[in-house]
Chains A and B, each alone.
Chain A
Amino acid sequence: MFAKIYKHSAYYISLIVILILGFLLAGSNSNRSFQIGVTIATTFFYVLWGIMHHLINHDLNAKIVIEYILIGAFGLTIIFFLLSVNGNY
């Protein structure tokens, strides 16, 4: 498992950088619209990055694309649920 991670370390490091950047951008600004925009953009990059990685590995199929989209949608729904219920948007 660790060998696999090591083999794809460049991909995982770039993904981690994107995610950390998304978090820092969202956390450093108190403007809700900006925070939501950053969250959507980060999710979009996560989906794109995942699909690109599978494409490079020649193991991309429709099910994998759907999986990334579903996880992205799940993450955004979590944030939507939080904001719609506590009303702090």
Chain B
Amino acid sequence: MKEFLSHLFIPKESNNHRAKILHHTNLFLTIVFLLLTSFFTQKLKVSFPSVLGVKADISSEQLLLLTNQERQKEGNSALVLNEQLAQAAAQKAQDMFEYNYWAHNSPTGKTPWVFIKSSGYRYVYAGENLARGFSTPEDVIKAWMASPDHRANMMSSNYQDVGFGVKLGKLNGEETVLVVEELGNLNMPIAQNNKIQEVATASDTNVSHKNVVAVNKKPLINISSFPFNVNVLIVLLFIFAFLLDMIIVEKKKVMRFVGHNIDHILYLILILALVGVFGKGVII
């Protein structure tokens, strides 16, 4: 085992003075392995959703609490959970799953206002945030707060009511949880159809009683963190291998014609950082 690991990571005569793991064949095999794993994970997701699936625990109560906490920090009044807006948000989420789209306006031309109006909420000011692919309400609120437009929507003193739609379903064949936040005000004498922001989030099971909607699904393996962790480990392994290879060869003063390890290390650090970006949910 020791010999095998040494052959894999230490540049020496037996591996032509280049860590075996960094040889072209092994790089190619790693790519093939990742593609195959991706393919089989997709199959596993479909066949055994209770084993490998979206893990989410998001409720409108938690979203409201966190939203109001953020608003209070800035001295804004707390929003009130509105049943009609919650209904509009649930319908919007349902519509996105039904017509398979991820946008503020549906492919059939429905704007967010259509859902709000059809719920009976006669607003003078309304807005929408969407989130998708998040596991916790904290992550949803954090993502919205990090985006200037969504943040402005959430913090706006133009709104007094809010409704959340949290639904688990399939978009583009992928299981995901959508979070829809509809904001509104019945009283303010301002022109209608102001700002719309959309943010989509993911979660599971749909429990609905009164204004409270929630998704709570806990598969054995969380599809959100599993690929993230695997990728981080693989990239770190290669960074370590390149670093070790560079140091040892430099120490032994071996002459060889290969690419610059520093280039590869820098590029892999970028990939590691991008894994953090792509590993998160999406907001619009």
Contact = CB atoms under 8 A, between A and B. Distances in A.
Interface of A: 1, 5, 12, 15-16, 19, 22-23, 26-27, 30-32, 35, 39, 42-43, 46, 49-50, 53-54, 59, 61, 63-64, 66-68, 70-75, 77-89
Interface residues of B, number: 59
A81 B231 contact: yes
29 contacts: A5-B262, A15-B263, A19-B267, A22-B270, A26-B277, A27-B273, A35-B277, A39-B274, A43-B267, A46-B270, A49-B263, A68-B263, A70-B24, A71-B259, A71-B267, A72-B267, A74-B27, A75-B271, A78-B271, A79-B271, A81-B231, A82-B228, A84-B38, A85-B38, A85-B227, A87-B133, A87-B171, A88-B132, A88-B281
Contacts of A32: 282
Contacts of A5: 262
Contacts of B31: 70, 73-74, 77
Nearest to A59: B257
B226 interface: yes
B258 A64 contact: yes
B37 interface: yes
A5 B263 CA distance: 11
Nearest to B225: A86
Contacts of A70: 24, 27-28, 31
B231 A78 contact: yes
Interface of B: 24, 27-28, 30-31, 34-35, 37-38, 41-42, 45, 54, 132-133, 147, 171-172, 174-176, 202, 223-224, 226-228, 230-231, 234-235, 238, 246-247, 250, 257-260, 262-264, 266-271, 273-275, 277-284
A18 B31 CA distance: 24
Contacts of A30: 147, 282-284
A70 to B, nearest CB: 4
Contact of A53 (B172, B238, B257, B260): B260
A83 B231 CA distance: 11
Given A30-B282, A78-B34, 16 more contacts: A1-B250, A12-B262, A16-B266, A23-B277, A26-B274, A31-B284, A46-B263, A64-B257, A68-B263, A74-B30, A74-B238, A82-B228, A82-B275, A85-B42, A85-B45, A88-B282
A49 B259 CA distance: 11
A23 B274 contact: yes
The 8 closest A-B pairs by CB, nearest first: A87-B174, A88-B133, A85-B227, A67-B259, A75-B271, A70-B27, A19-B270, A1-B250
Contacts of A43: 267
Contacts of A82: 227-228, 231, 275, 278-279
Contacts of B38: 80-81, 84-85
